[in-house]
Amino acid sequence: MALPLEALLDTLSARIIAAAEELTALDSAIGDADHGLNMKRGFEAVLAEKPAILAKPPGEALKTVGMTLVMKVGGASGPLYGTLFMTLGKELPDDPAPADAARALAAAVAVVKARGKSDVGCKTMLDVLGPLADHLASGAASFASVRALAAERAQATVPMKATRGRASFLGERSIGHMDPGARSSQLMIETVCDVLEGRL
């Protein structure tokens, strides 16, 4: 299925920008209180570059989104989300089948793990993206199951103690708060599902 890139960029950007206050509130509890603002700035930059991005083949377009996020999003989120998009751009064919998406996400998660020196269970975006990659690889994924898994795994970061990133400095005080990166990952996953399923 050909990727509806313009719809993905428009909807993803709009939802992340709209969620800036929520993400910043989550980050104020266990981080630098800048995740929402940083992500908003990054996706505003993506929108500003949209004509140039859409002029490229799908893989190069995703790589350009990744590079834009690396350059415009501060903190750890820029390099990590940028790495995610750049790896997806490298791995996805122009007309990806579900198996291609599963393989590409698994590759992207592996690179994000290496870049962030982190893993599932550390209270980060990987607590959503890692289980999602496994679920897609199972071949049993549906839009409904993907949405449910993303919500479940983001919520599962609440009782976790952070062991990576700024939140890890808080130790036990990081328990009881949703990880902002897990929440922004959930938002992205739900948006991709909505666009691909036509539920906008």
Return the CATH number at 135. Answer: 1.25.40.340
pLDDT digits 0-9 by tens, 177-192: 889 999 999 999 999 9
Q: What is the pLDDT of residue 189?
A: 97
Q: Is the pLDDT of residue 200 over 80?
A: no
Write a three-state SS string for 12-29: HHHHHHHCHHHHHHHHHH
Convert 12-51 to b/e letters by CB count within 10 Å (16 or more is b): bbebbbebbebbbebbebbbbbbbbbbbbbbbbbbeebbe
Tell me the pLDDT band of 107, cut-offs 50, 70 and 90: very high
Of the CA atoms within 13 Å of residue 187, those in its CB half-sphere come to 20
Q: What is the pLDDT of residue 52?
A: 95
Q: What is the pLDDT of residue 169?
A: 60
Q: Are 92 and 58 in contact (CB under 8 A)?
A: yes
Q: Are 15 and 47 in contact (CB under 8 A)?
A: no
Among candidates 178, 141, 198, which has minimal Cα distance to 36?
Answer: 178
Could you give the number of structural domains in the chain? 1
Give the domain range for residue 40: 5-196
User: How many angstroms separate the first and last alpha carbons of the chain?
Assistant: 18
- Tokens read off for 70: 């690396």
Q: Is the pLDDT of residue 165 over 90?
A: no
When the pLDDT of each residue in the chain is averaged and rounded to a whole number, the result is 90
Average pLDDT over residues 70-76: 84
Q: Are 101 and 108 in contact (CB under 8 A)?
A: no
Question: How many helical (H) and strand (E) elements, i.e. helices and strands, does the chain have?
Answer: 10, 0
Helix or strand or coil: residue 172?
helix
123 residue type, one letter: K
